[in-house]
Amino acid sequence: MAETERQGVVYVGNKPSMSYVLATVLQFNSGCDVVAIKARGRAISKAVDVAEITRQKFLPGMVEVQDVKIGTEEIGEGENRRNVSVIEIFLRRKK
């Protein structure tokens, strides 16, 4: 990412998908060049939905998927530790 670019982040959780789509569109409208959509566990499929709805319906031709990162995080302590899948979808404003 270039130093002059502004980056926003949207964390996806239990709210309806359209709440996160609106948050993503607002990030772009406030001047962000890149917005990262982040989610863990069961919210991963919702994060993909948010990225696709934003890209295809709300900002068609204006944003593109720059990168997708996947991984695993360990949460909890002691015997309650478990691994949770994570995803980061980076949407970039087309120039």
Query: pLDDT grade, residue 79 (50/70/90)?
Result: very high
Kindly state the DSSP code that residue 56 receives in the 8-state scheme.
I
Q: Which pLDDT value is given to residue 3? A: 54
Q: What is the CA radius of gyration of the chain?
A: 14
Mean pLDDT of 2-23: 90
- Cα separation, 68 vs 85, in Å, equals 13
CATH number of 7-93: 3.30.110.20
Specify the pLDDT at position 34.
Answer: 97
Q: What is the dihedral of CA 65, 62, 20, 47, to 10 degrees?
A: -20
pLDDT tens figures, 17-72? 999 999 999 999 999 999 999 999 999 999 999 999 999 999 999 999 999 999 99
Helices H, strands E: what count in the chain? Answer: 2, 4
**91 closest CA partner among 30, 23, 33:** 33
